Chain A
């Protein structure tokens, strides 16, 4: 993604804007087919499933089964079903009825639960970004000191130990043994109930961000433009804040997409462990009960979010990094 072009290649202002638009269009042309492929493949896999959604429990009379199939559009040809499904999502944000919770549509189930996942996910992302970048900077500015070693040891732990191990241990330690915080439950989203899940969820991305920031900053602090800034006699604090940070944090920007994906998958287990009524838990329950439409809806929603975010990050990268900007 990073194309190292020469700085001399920057043309007139108009040419640059034009290039930027082309760049965005090209990225969009990659993002839309990707999304289509994800939706198409998930849809087809779901429909290739052995046994229909109404098999198993009891034998239905053929007329009733016919009615049921008609209600869920399952009697139509596969491509028509796919078309109707996509049309429903695009025009009305309608993901169809839930197969297992008959009184609900998938959209209603998502509507009930998304805010829980969004709250813990965004809190975890914010914490991971700020704490991770701060720790990474501290490590880079004190390379090979005890601070550096401590941060890197912490990062190694965060990367190797998965969240579903950290979460129960945190819950056991702070919730059960020390009895400081509630060990599980949502309680309307009160702060004390959010601390443990958000900590457990943010630790993995935090560790990666700390490592990326450290690497980026160490490289940038040795680069020519930072030397120039220092040679001009700028105070060290200003050199770091105004010159080094912007370039040093670029690797973190490109990690935003994967970070989001990590948080979404992480929230599946975190919500299960802490008993939070979020989207992840609906998804897991749906998967265990083979509620195809619910699973499909959540996958499509999450994939759209991730692919959109990746697109935004790509464009942002183009704006932030003069090297990419120049080469477009």
Chain B
């Protein structure tokens, strides 16, 4: 990319058919087999989280007392004389593990994404502010982050959920989103601040400034794309982190409440019944582990793809 191109007005730049950072990154990402496999698997998981519960004839809360703690089967008694199928078996209340697993996927993924979005907003605003203002304000803001870092987060989550959260249903879920997002932005804040600080000092910013690029174009075309790489990478790693926190809390009985369910809750129920009904544990564990692996591989792939040092 030449300085002359940057120096011209923004309209001309788009006419030059160059290799942008994002084109390069996309090419590199799609060349990474592990990341592509992970993306395909994750896509399938998302699809199942959306349509999965409808593929089963049984609602996730529907009980069948003539087939409780039943193994996966194609011919289970319905209690009304007929037979039906349970691909993943049933739990102690005769509920279909198949639809429960995908409802759990829905809830776990939703919490993963929403809490990550909350942490993204807080982290980017906080980090960018500290980085742009710099000096004493920056120092103070980062010391606050240091202090928050040294607090064991899981215990704060638990305190907040004990006090406010255990009402069940949507208020409880919203509480979870807010509580997790509100404490998981620290690393994001640090990353954005560091990036902003270093990008602010780069020669190409100076060059663009000298060429008279407007503030808005500068932020949009030069600062944001350069800050975005590490942010996207860290976001991909925050989602599984949040899913893990949610499952941890739900496992303890503090997160998602009945009648809703999540992977953490299902694993918790499965762990209690694993001697008599191992399928209750097996399927949620399998899909949750798969999700976590996929996110990590995509995150690693993105990091490799977006790291300009590799070019």
Asked if B152 contacts A168 (CB within 8 A), the reply is no
Asked if B158 contacts A161 (CB within 8 A), the reply is no
Asked if B162 contacts A295 (CB within 8 A), the reply is yes
- Is the CB of B274 closer than 8 A to any CB of chain A? yes
Give a binary string over B127-169; 1 marks a CB under 8 Å from any A CB, 0 the rest: 0000000000000000100110011101110111111100000
Contact partner of B271 (CB less than 8 A), chosen from A49, A265, A273, is A273
Contact partner of B281 (CB less than 8 A), chosen from A48, A168, A183, is A168
Asked if B271 contacts A295 (CB within 8 A), the reply is no
Asked if B252 contacts A160 (CB within 8 A), the reply is no
When chains A and B are docked, how far (Å) is the Cα of A264 from the Cα of B267? 20
A179 to chain B minimum Cβ distance, whole angstroms, is 11
Residues in chain B near residue A290, CB distance under 8 A: 162
Asked if B150 contacts A306 (CB within 8 A), the reply is yes
A307 to chain B minimum Cβ distance, whole angstroms, is 6
Asked if A46 contacts B289 (CB within 8 A), the reply is no
| In the complex with contacts A162-B244, A164-B251, A176-B275 CB distance below 8 A | yes
- Is the CB of A2 closer than 8 A to any CB of chain B? no
When chains A and B are docked, how far (Å) is the Cα of A161 from the Cα of B253? 19
Asked if B296 contacts A176 (CB within 8 A), the reply is no
Asked if B163 contacts A49 (CB within 8 A), the reply is yes
Asked if A160 contacts B154 (CB within 8 A), the reply is no
A residues 253-297 with Cβ under 8 Å of B?
257, 261, 264-265, 268-269, 272-273, 283-284, 287-288, 290, 292, 295-296
Contact partner of A42 (CB less than 8 A), chosen from B159, B240, B253, B296, is B159
| In the complex with contacts A295-B158, A303-B152, A303-B155, A159-B267 CB distance below 8 A | no
When chains A and B are docked, how far (Å) is the Cα of A37 from the Cα of B146? 13
- Is the CB of B270 closer than 8 A to any CB of chain A? yes
- Is the CB of B48 closer than 8 A to any CB of chain A? no
When chains A and B are docked, how far (Å) is the Cα of A199 from the Cα of B247? 20
Asked if B150 contacts A165 (CB within 8 A), the reply is no
Asked if A168 contacts B270 (CB within 8 A), the reply is yes
Contact partner of A287 (CB less than 8 A), chosen from B143, B150, B151, B158, is B158
- Is the CB of B22 closer than 8 A to any CB of chain A? no
- Is the CB of A169 closer than 8 A to any CB of chain B? yes
| In the complex with contacts A37-B147, A272-B252, A162-B247 CB distance below 8 A | yes
How large, as a class, is the contact surface on chain B?
A: 35 or more
B residues 222-260 with Cβ under 8 Å of A?
240, 244, 247-248, 251-254
B142 to chain A minimum Cβ distance, whole angstroms, is 12
Residues in chain B near residue A156, CB distance under 8 A: 293, 296
- Is the CB of A21 closer than 8 A to any CB of chain B? no
When chains A and B are docked, how far (Å) is the Cα of A57 from the Cα of B308? 63
A289 to chain B minimum Cβ distance, whole angstroms, is 9
Tell me if B's interface is mostly helix, strand, loop or mixed: helix
- Is the CB of B110 closer than 8 A to any CB of chain A? no
A residues 137-170 with Cβ under 8 Å of B?
156, 159-162, 164-165, 167-169
- Is the CB of A38 closer than 8 A to any CB of chain B? yes
Asked if A265 contacts B162 (CB within 8 A), the reply is no
When chains A and B are docked, how far (Å) is the Cα of A30 from the Cα of B139? 14
| In the complex with contacts A161-B292, A288-B253, A168-B271 CB distance below 8 A | yes
Residues in chain A near residue B161, CB distance under 8 A: 287
Asked if A38 contacts B267 (CB within 8 A), the reply is no
- Is the CB of B107 closer than 8 A to any CB of chain A? no
- Is the CB of B111 closer than 8 A to any CB of chain A? no
Excluding A265-B155, A269-B248, A296-B159, 13 further A-B contacts by CB distance (< 8 Å) are: A165-B289, A168-B270, A168-B274, A171-B274, A172-B278, A183-B275, A265-B248, A268-B252, A269-B251, A273-B271, A288-B254, A292-B162, A303-B152
Can you pick out 22 interface pairs between chain A and chain B where the beta carbons lie within 8 Å of each other?
Answer: A34-B150, A42-B159, A45-B160, A45-B163, A49-B162, A50-B164, A160-B293, A164-B247, A164-B248, A168-B281, A171-B271, A171-B274, A172-B278, A261-B152, A265-B248, A268-B154, A272-B252, A287-B252, A287-B254, A292-B162, A295-B159, A306-B152
Residues in A lying within 8 Å of B, measured CB to CB: 30-31, 33-34, 37-38, 41-42, 45-46, 48-50, 156, 159-162, 164-165, 167-169, 171-172, 176, 183, 257, 261, 264-265, 268-269, 272-273, 283-284, 287-288, 290, 292, 295-296, 298-299, 302-303, 306-307, 310
Residues in B lying within 8 Å of A, measured CB to CB: 143, 146-147, 150-152, 154-156, 158-164, 240, 244, 247-248, 251-254, 264, 267-268, 270-271, 274-275, 278, 281, 285, 288-289, 292-293, 296
